[in-house]
Structure 1
Amino acid sequence: MSKELRPYKPTHPGEVLKDELLSRKITQKKFAESISIPYTELNEVLNSKRPISANLALMLEAALGIKAYIWINMQSRYDLEMARRDKSCKLKIEEIQKVCAGFLL
């Protein structure tokens, strides 16, 4: 694993969605109703407590015109960065690298 510095805080795509709704002056409740999901589910996404799934990404694309792959890419990058920062994951990766060092010829 790379020893590169990671000084920034990863941005959950829900934060981007929250900003998008604010800029379009759409309330969370109205948006949840318009895409037929429970308000609590949307609120969890907006507060970084739930990921943006493929289904939700498609709904966002239909409602906002922002391509589904953009939401999925943001979620994937966020997930990878969070995994890189997870101490138990780091330890597992380092152990795998030691064990498999001979495979990298």
Structure 2
Amino acid sequence: MTTRNPNRCPTHPGEILAESLEHLDISKTEIARILQISRQHLHGILKGERSVTAITAARIGKLLGNGPTLWLQLQANYNAWHVERDIDVSSIPTLEASKKVNMQTEHSC
């Protein structure tokens, strides 16, 4: 298994979606209609200018048959890489391990 270069930005999910759609004989206008989003919204995703939301991820995952998790993980990786470089959190203290354990609670859906 190869290790990803941490200095290289993860691929935006829109780029992967664009590659996936190239192999389909369906127009982007039709894809947007199927996904229930505007054509402009779809183009924004494909160009990496818009994020893939949970709702859009569910729709893309259904369309392509690979579920929403892949698309959400791709977007989360992309977002995390950028926020780690763009946001200064140096003034925020890190809690001690014992305090972290007390903050964790079980959640159910």
Deviation at 1:23, TM superposition (A): 2.2
CA deviation profile, 1:44-90 (whole Å, cap 9, x unmatched): 1111111111111111122111211110111111110010121xx1x
**1:22 offset after TM fit, Å?**
0.7
Higher helix share: 1
* Identity %, equivalent residues: 26
Q: Is the Cα contact below 8 Å between 2:9 and 2:78 reproduced in 1? A: no
RMSD of aligned Cα (Å)? 2.0
Q: Where in structure 1 are there 5+ consecutive unaligned residues? A: none
Q: Any runs of at least 4 consecutive aligned residues in structure 1 with deviations exceeding 6 A, and if so which?
A: none
Counterparts of 1:34 and 1:104, CA distance in 2: 47
Residue 24 (str. 1) matches residue 20 (str. 2): no
**Corresponding residue for 2:15?**
15
Matched residues in 2 for 1:36 and 1:55: separation?
10
Give distance in 2, aligned partners of 1:100 and 1:37: 40
Q: What's 1:44 paired with?
A: 44
Alignment partners' CA distance in 2, 1:9 and 1:53: 19
Q: TM-score, normalising length from structure 2? A: 0.74
Q: Which runs of 5+ in 2 are unaligned?
A: 99-109
CA positional deviation for 1:9:
2.6
Aligned residues: 94
Q: Matched residue of 2:91: which SS?
A: helix
**Which of residues 88, 95, 102 is equivalent to 2:91?**
95
